Amino acid sequence: MKAELKGTGVALATPMNADYTVDYPSLKKLLDHIIAGNADYIVVQGTTGESPVFSWKEKLEILQFVLDHLKGSKPVVFGLGGNNTFDLIEKAKDLKDYPLAAILSASPYYNKPSQEGIVRHYQMLGDAFPHPIILYNVPSRTASNMEAATTLELAKHKNILGIKEASGDLDQCQEIADNRPDDFMLISGDDGLAYDIIKMGGEGVISVIGNLMPAAYTTMVNTALKGDYAAADKLNDDLCVVYDMLSEEGNPSSLKAGLEARGICSRTVKPPLYDASDAMVEKWKRYFKG
């Protein structure tokens, strides 16, 4: 188990200019905001970072910018998942010299592989990737659930260190928690379920809200990890309205509306996503005004 990946990882948004190029000054501002909120690590080019719409060259440029800015102050996880096993293996060769704590790899989408296909896919990645892998189960985006038995089989691989579980199925998460090896991490992929997953023994969360309210959210997560569930439950309840707002117009559109309301970056998202409404930005402004 990687202790440095326990707690709150932030699935970093990618600020953009009006012409859809990366807004690096705003990305710096966002990173500083997250660091000031005491998040434990940064996830670059996950779904929240709009990874499907960036070229490989752009992804590596974003990664390098983040690494240069952090200067080793926080661990970095990089998103590299997809439905072409051999393409991922080729791309991973370019990452061998990057100081990454892990690679977050989403389960194959669209192909709808069998559970046996998912196992073979990740075993091949595990054998080839130069960094440890965090599995990522997100059926709402992939149209394919990675069953608990599949996760537990993959947990035996020496280069697979954990799973980001975003199935929303707490029974499935509990089965993983109860039967996993001691060194295999169970990480929530849902801000609103992180408290429950930590209570069942999970090690933390890879978060969207951590972009927007890192201090409040990391406090809740750390309180739960310390076992003070009564206090953590109250903190979690206080954030429920934010969890709902973040999903109101989709992720990351709703998130970027909140970031614009906080003066961190614009709401611009890259097609085929669509920018959040003026009403969403105003709703965030009213929330932050209290």
pLDDT digits (tens, 9 = 90+) for 21-76: 999 999 999 999 999 999 999 999 999 999 999 999 999 999 999 999 999 999 99
Is position 96 annotated as part of the catalytic site?
Answer: no
104 domain residue, yes or no: yes
**Count of C-beta atoms within a 10 Å radius of residue 238:** 11
**Stronger pLDDT, 290 or 116, i.e. the higher one:** 116
pLDDT of residue 290 exceeding 80, the answer is no
CA 219 to chain centroid: 18
Residue 59 is among the residues annotated as catalytic for this protein: no
Domain assignment of residue 201, yes or no: yes
Q: Is residue 216 part of a domain?
A: yes
- Report the number of distinct structural domains present in the chain: 1
Whether residue 241 lies inside any domain: the answer is no
The active-site residue, picked from 122, 136, 195, 217, is: 136
**Residue 274 belongs to some domain of the structure:** no
Which structural domain, as residue segments, surrounds residue 31?
3-231
Assess if residue 243 is contained within a domain.
no
CA–CA gap between residue 167 and residue 188 (Å, rounded): 9
Q: Which of 59, 74, 164, 256 is catalytic?
A: 164
Query: What CATH number should be reported for the domain holding residue 17?
Result: 3.20.20.70
Q: What percent of the chain clears pLDDT 90, i.e. is strictly above it?
A: 98
Q: Does residue 272 lie within any of the structural domains?
A: no
State residue 1's pLDDT score. 58
User: Residue 7's closest CA among 47, 34, 45, 46?
Assistant: 34
Structure tokens at 180: 């996993």
User: Is the pTM value of this prediction over 0.75?
Assistant: yes
Is the residue at 251 inside a domain?
Answer: no
